[in-house]
Structure 1
Amino acid sequence: MAAEPWFAEPLPLSPGETAPLDRLEPPERPEDPRELQPEAAQLSLLQEAPGSTPSPPDPMVPEPGPAAPARLALDAMFSPVTDQLRYLLKKADDFQSYLLYSRDGVQKEQLAKVMPTFLKMCEPYFLYLEAAARSVPAIYGALQELVRKGLLEISQQLTLRLEQLIFMYASFGFVDLEDTDPLSISCFFCGRFSIGPSHEVSIFRYCSPAAYTASRFPRYLYKKMRWNLETTPEPNSREQDPHVDYYFLCYRDTWEDSGQSPANSCPQIQKLWSIGRWVPLGPADDDLYSWILCPQPPGDYQQLLTIGFEEPSHMLATDLLVQVLMGQIGPARPPSAAWVAQGS
């Protein structure tokens, strides 16, 4: 197991200040599940998902010999990951208590530093979870789906807890969620993975729905997630610099489009969710002053998937994006994606 520390140094304390939190000591780094693939673990994963309660053995059917060692191997594989999750969730609870019960003028600067520091602290864990679950080459055999699902559910659980905590700090005025402010925490990083030798996807989650552009064009469109697709040129390619495309999970307020008020609209059809690509409309690349004076560059929305009126989970939204991207830059999309309706 790696010995080097994962995280930045603890938050600095003022002289004489007594913090209600313990120091942010670096936990042990989880082991890569791809390194733990004994045959026993693969047999176990066919029988039991992570975190599930094992069924009692049938007295009429003899239990296979390697079952007990297989379960131990599975638990050993997930133990460092779940221990790390408990550690970070405990820190989130501590920071929430710190906000609610320890606020005063002396600690104001300290509270303002909590969220940026804690988000940086979580980044290596998100990198590990998403890369181990999604990156190409994937985990094959019996480990593929069960380990993937277990890791992504852990990633989603931590993402939702951070979103809740950031929103709470914003409600007390210690965090700014304004998307046009470069110093705000309008969104936060929650993982990166590869979908090919020259394509990497970074995931960002908006703490609060943000207008798609500062000018609200396209109309009534709000962002909830963003993915940066970075393409690295091949060695023999003419292009030399990496290129980044931006994809968004958005919803459109259909009641605003119809001119009705929310009170008179059916709540099930207020938000139509979709995944689309950012199409830049300006400013010009060679006009530096236009970029400086522009609060947010204007852009169009190329809708790629229409999802429906129910918000997809963090995990499902990224799954759907990957299916779209694999259809564009890689092999054919898996058959499970055939039900998704293409947007206009």
Structure 2
Amino acid sequence: MAETAEHEMGMEELCCSNEAYTAVETLSLLADVPLASLCGKHTNYSCVCDTCCCLDEGSVDSNMQPVDLQLHFFLNKADNIQRSLSEKVSGREEYASTVKSFLFICQPYFLHLESTARSPWDENNLLSESMRSQMFDFSQILCNKLENLVLTCASKDLLPLDETEPDSITHFYIGQCGLGSMTVTIFRYCQPTPYLAEVNTGLYKRMRWNVDHPGAMEADDTEYYFLCCEDVDVLPDGDNPTFSQSASVRMWSIGQWLQVSPETEDINDWTLCRVPQGTYLKRVILGREEPSCCIATDCLLQLLMLDQK
């Protein structure tokens, strides 16, 4: 199977499929759980993450309130876990297990948001553009919260972020959607992570998309795309005061994983290969500003549609 250097394409990440969870089941499972009220509205909920950017109560569409309540349930749970870090109520193994379980529990919610917001319009689909936009906002808010939680645990030496570590948490699932006959599964890296675990390529990955083609039973039927950044040297430009002298600029792009070794899909070759290697085929240059998860996925889907033509 073609995969990145950290052997990250395990079945655990893909367990959250439409067959495993439906949107109704996902919401009903949490419907009876006590939920925190909206951020800043007389509640004991507070945003630990500086990048949370919770939506104001008045800006949430009335039809979106059940989904909004589910979001605040997850945010509150994340805060509780993070709060327990300062109280030191558990050991390293317990925290690692708790965080991994929590990331897993959030998967159906991410699936519901991404698949619903990107579902094609028809007479039975009454989602407005505002509702779709709010779903993407909810997804980004929860993504930021989980990212902050993992990084906080890592800063306290409770979780490793190094992909060479077998128990590391470098990335997590943030949804799945369909594009024609293809299925696109989305993952977010907690921080810019070296493209290859043991080789300095100058590339750092921030997102990954697994693109499964119809009847993908073989590795060749699954493609892997990444949102990556790299520092590019810019030569002096007398006409541009921003670059009046040599500087290094961080540039973002979307590229495709091309497997280099093992050269075959033979299981024996994979058993003998400790760390798979691959190159980065740059497909889209996005510029100096890091895109949101939604915008990056939009760009990837547009790329895939162009490839189909």
Larger Rg over CA atoms: 1
Moved more, 152-161 or 280-289: 280-289
Measured against aligned partners, the alpha-carbon deviations of 1:189-221 in whole angstroms (never above 9, x if no partner) come to 01001011x20100000112111113436x311
**Contact kept? 2:187, 2:208, Cα under 8 Å:** yes
**Contact kept? 1:226, 1:248, Cα under 8 Å:** yes
Q: CA deviation at 1:241?
A: 4.6
Partner of 1:270: 249
Q: Structure 1 stretches (4+) deviating beyond 6 angstroms?
A: 2-5
**Cα RMSD (Å):** 3.1
* 1:177 has 2:161 as partner: yes
Which runs of no fewer than 5 residues in structure 2 stay unpaired?
1-21, 33-54, 236-244
Which residue among 57, 61, 76 is the counterpart of 1:90? 76
Q: Which has the higher contact order (CA 8 A, sep 6+)?
A: 2
Structure 2 distance, partners of 1:311, 1:139, is 33
Moved more, 200-209 or 279-288: 279-288
Q: Per the alignment, in what secondary structure is the counterpart of residue 30 of structure 2?
A: coil
Structure 1 distance, partners of 2:218, 2:214, is 7
Q: CA deviation at 1:286?
A: 4.8
Change (3 A) 1:199 1:94: same
Partner of 1:309: 288
Q: Per the alignment, in what secondary structure is the counterpart of residue 179 of structure 2?
A: strand
Structure 1 distance, partners of 2:307, 2:295, is 19
* 1:161 has 2:145 as partner: yes
Structure 1 distance, partners of 2:83, 2:198, is 38
Residue 86 of structure 2 aligns to which amino acid in structure 1? L
**Contact kept? 1:254, 1:271, Cα under 8 Å:** yes
Partner of 2:31: 28
Change (3 A) 1:81 1:265: farther
* 1:220 has 2:196 as partner: no
Change (3 A) 1:293 1:253: farther
Change (3 A) 1:101 1:301: same
Measured against aligned partners, the alpha-carbon deviations of 1:125-184 in whole angstroms (never above 9, x if no partner) come to 00100000113x346788342221111110011001100100111112221212233432
Structure 1 distance, partners of 2:152, 2:102, is 14
Structure 1 distance, partners of 2:106, 2:148, is 15
Structure 2 distance, partners of 1:172, 1:279, is 35
Q: Per the alignment, in what secondary structure is the counterpart of residue 176 of structure 1?
A: coil
Change (3 A) 1:287 1:240: closer
Q: Per the alignment, in what secondary structure is the counterpart of residue 177 of structure 1?
A: coil
Which residue among 270, 276, 284 is the counterpart of 2:263? 284
Change (3 A) 1:53 1:3: closer
Which runs of no fewer than 5 residues in structure 1 stay unpaired?
8-24, 30-49, 55-70, 234-238, 259-263, 331-344
Structure 1 distance, partners of 2:23, 2:293, is 32
Change (3 A) 1:175 1:26: farther
Structure 2 distance, partners of 1:146, 1:286, is 45
The correspondence of residues 50-199 of structure 1 with structure 2, limited to 5 A, is 53=58, 74-75=61-62, 77-103=63-89, 107-135=91-119, 137-138=120-121, 143-196=127-180, 198-199=181-182
Partner of 1:324: 303
Structure 1 distance, partners of 2:183, 2:304, is 11
* 1:248 has 2:226 as partner: yes
Residue 184 of structure 2 aligns to which amino acid in structure 1? V
Structure 2 distance, partners of 1:193, 1:109, is 33
Structure 1 distance, partners of 2:110, 2:126, is 23
Structure 2 distance, partners of 1:270, 1:146, is 35
Measured against aligned partners, the alpha-carbon deviations of 1:67-104 in whole angstroms (never above 9, x if no partner) come to xxxx9xx51x2111000001000001100001111346
Q: Per the alignment, in what secondary structure is the counterpart of residue 224 of structure 1?
A: strand
Structure 2 distance, partners of 1:297, 1:88, is 35
Output the TM-score relative to the length of structure 1.
0.66
Structure 2 distance, partners of 1:109, 1:180, is 18
Residue 141 of structure 2 aligns to which amino acid in structure 1? Q
Output the TM-score relative to the length of structure 2.
0.73
**Contact kept? 1:163, 1:207, Cα under 8 Å:** yes
Structure 1 distance, partners of 2:126, 2:302, is 22
**Contact kept? 1:179, 1:186, Cα under 8 Å:** yes
**Contact kept? 2:113, 2:135, Cα under 8 Å:** yes
Q: Per the alignment, in what secondary structure is the counterpart of residue 140 of structure 2?
A: helix
Q: Could you tell me the percent identity over the aligned residues? A: 37
Partner of 1:299: 278
Structure 1 distance, partners of 2:295, 2:190, is 18
Q: CA deviation at 1:53?
A: 5.0
